[in-house]
Chain A
Amino acid sequence: MSVPILLFSALVLASTLVIVTSVVLFAAVLRTSDARWPRRLAMALLLPWGGLEVWRVGRRALPALWASSILAYVALRVATAAAAPFA
């Protein structure tokens, strides 16, 4: 397996994880927040805010996974952009 194929696979998997955890976190914010509805929806749409809310009520794994997936994705985008001239 060549380096470009490995990098591309990692990038696609990381983006998949970002999308899946974002949707699951969105649903979790709507379910767990005790805020009133317009505010709860705003929290769900602004995921960092909603993630903090879910973190605050003690369900920490999901916001941590979401944040890690975004960090991994950004790191891979930077790595692939830097490696592109050598691919």
Chain B
Amino acid sequence: MGTRPGRVARGVAVGLGVALLTVAALLAGLALHANTAVGLAAAEHLVEWSGSETSRGTVRVGRVRSVPPRQLSLLDYRIIAPDGEVVIASDEIAGVPDWSGVLDGQVRFRPSRFVRARIRLTPGPDGQVNLVHASEVPDERFTIPLVFEDIRLIDNTIHVSLPGKPAVTMRRVHGRADLHIGHLWEWRLRDNRGEIDLPIVEPGFRRMNGRLKSDSAHPLVVRMEVDAGPIETSLSLDYHVPALAGEEGEPYLDLDLEEGEDEEEEAHEELSEAREEREEVERALREAERAGDEEETRELRQALEEHRRAERRAREQVRG
């Protein structure tokens, strides 16, 4: 028989051991059963439920093919906006879990892929892009940001029908993108290529860079190089929603076709855009810090890091 303090210490050690064993067994149980038929069915319901609860839209999944610890693969994924419009419908959305995201307070997938996604960019409430309105998380709802990095776009279609200009559709869009879904919603396109239906012609385009994001009076800013026969032009889309900046005026889409710029000029322009976006996030961060919104502050700090990296890349391009 040991002494009383000895017995207490032994009891605490045994209790801790059993608790650790239980956590390990629970994780093992989850991993072992996640990809069974019932695990995939549960994942389908969980994705639909959590997506629809946190965002304004309704999330629908046709079938879940696999879940972590293997890659996440959602087939026939759709987001339906509150007005009933299907703002995104994708044959497959998939991503490999990046467990280091847990340290940043994110559920992160890298690399990822969006296969044959049909994306509609149309005006929603207050002029905001309906896709952003439907899928961003309102400030009053709790969320853990969902991040898809290094997305490979495969045969995507982007339909832009915003006030101010006739609708345009980009087809067979391939390239890279990043998507951040949380209180801050941001979709960044990198080096995309495809075809665009302009009046009369349907030329190919390449080097499409830009972004679609919440919390900005310019939710959509995109720039690309268009190959219209012998003429190479640069096309930029800039959607301005004055109401989002607290200003008066109707939302409108600027669509500019101009002669191709040389690479140096374009690199400078990208750097100035990256700088402006970084400053915008810095301003939002200061506001969130003043308001004492810890969750938003954390998200914006992460976004700021990403913008600083983008700015560094743009600066290197200017130097190079």
Contacts and interface: CB of A to CB of B under 8 A. Distances in A.
Interface in B1-41: 18, 21-22, 25-26, 28-30, 32-33, 36-39, 41
Interface stretch (A7-15, A38-46, A59-67): A7-15
Give the interface centre of A8, A9, A13 by most chain B CB atoms within 10 Å: A8
18 contacts: A2-B49, A4-B42, A7-B42, A8-B39, A11-B33, A11-B36, A15-B25, A15-B28, A15-B32, A16-B29, A19-B21, A19-B25, A23-B21, A23-B25, A24-B18, A81-B37, A87-B38, A87-B41
B26 A16 contact: yes
B36 A12 contact: no
B21 A83 contact: no
A19 B44 contact: no
B46 interface: yes
Contacts of A24: 18, 21
Interface of B: 18, 21-22, 25-26, 28-30, 32-33, 36-39, 41-42, 44-46, 49
Contacts of B30: 12
Contacts of A80: 36-38
B320 to A, nearest CB: 51
Nearest to B26: A16
A19 B33 contact: no
